[in-house]
Chain A
Amino acid sequence: RKEVEQDPGPFNVPEGATVAFNCTYSNSASQSFFWYRQDCRKEPKLLMSVYSSGNEDGRFTAQLNRASQYISLLIRDSKLSDSATYLCVVKKNNDMRFGAGTRLTVKP
């Protein structure tokens, strides 16, 4: 079993749609959680951290369920510019492990 598993995707949605990505992790001792965004042929960039209480940044909402070892990302009112690969990241000590990513394409 991979340490970080994500929805395989790809997700193809129209502009304005709401889309949700899921991620599960295997190491119960994991300490911190993140979503990174990676555009085609570019480096990953931090989208947002994920806190136990859940957190929101504009159209993006992240949730963490430690008991189920599950992380989610919700994008509301999706824009063409949201098209990218979304990477779930789990950290234990200084070791940051990435999921394989979920590809999102937002179409006009």
Chain B
Amino acid sequence: DTGVSQDPRHKITKRGQNVTFRCDPISEHNRLYWYRQTLGQGPEFLTYFQNEAQLEKSRLLSDRFSAERPKGSFSTLEIQRTEQGDSAMYLCASSPTGGTLATNEKLFFGSGTQLSVL
């Protein structure tokens, strides 16, 4: 499978615990995005990487959230001291650079990590 993969698929945690999610983008894709989606809403932008550089970060991303992409390949999203309001689907997406505009702008999403904070 050469698509975007995310791990784990589901995570149940208690309030106050830390959680970390992993995203493996499509191998030749330089751009990597994290989104959060709750029921009945569209994906909300969290952060964006080009290679290993974190170029944009949403105001939604509080100090409890941190994302890394140390070698420009896989990325991790950590949430510290989880709160019930953090319960959501966390989606990772990647897109290429260097191709046509049409291909560069297409986001390829992973299946997401569903987080439930009890």
Q: Mark B29-60, 1 if CB is under 8 A from A, else 0.
A: 00101010000111111001010000110000
Interface pair A94/B107, CB less than 8 Å apart: no
Distance between Cα atoms of A23 and B45 in the complex (Å):
18
Distance between Cα atoms of A91 and B41 in the complex (Å):
18
Does chain B have a CB within 8 A of A25? no
- The residues of A with any CB-CB pair to B shorter than 8 Å are 4, 32, 34, 36, 42-46, 49, 87, 91, 94-101
Distance between Cα atoms of A43 and B9 in the complex (Å):
12
Interface pair B50/A44, CB less than 8 Å apart: no
Sort A-B residue pairs by CB-CB distance and give the 4 closest, nearest first: A98-B42, A43-B109, A98-B43, A100-B42
Interface residues contributed by chain B, number (CB under 8 Å): 22
Interface pair A94/B48, CB less than 8 Å apart: yes
Q: Which residue on chain B has the smallest CB distance to residue A102?
A: B42
- The residues of B with any CB-CB pair to A shorter than 8 Å are 31, 33, 35, 40-45, 48, 50, 55-56, 91, 102, 105-107, 109-112
Q: Which residue on chain B has the smallest CB distance to residue A32?
A: B105
* SS of A interface (majority): strand
Interface pair B111/A95, CB less than 8 Å apart: no
Chain B residues positioned under 8 Å from A4 (CB to CB) = 42
Q: List 15 A-B contacts (CB under 8 A).
A: A32-B105, A43-B91, A43-B110, A44-B91, A49-B102, A87-B42, A91-B105, A94-B48, A94-B56, A95-B48, A95-B56, A96-B33, A96-B107, A98-B42, A98-B44
Max chain A Cβ within 10 angstroms of own Cβ: one of B33, B41, B102, B107: B107
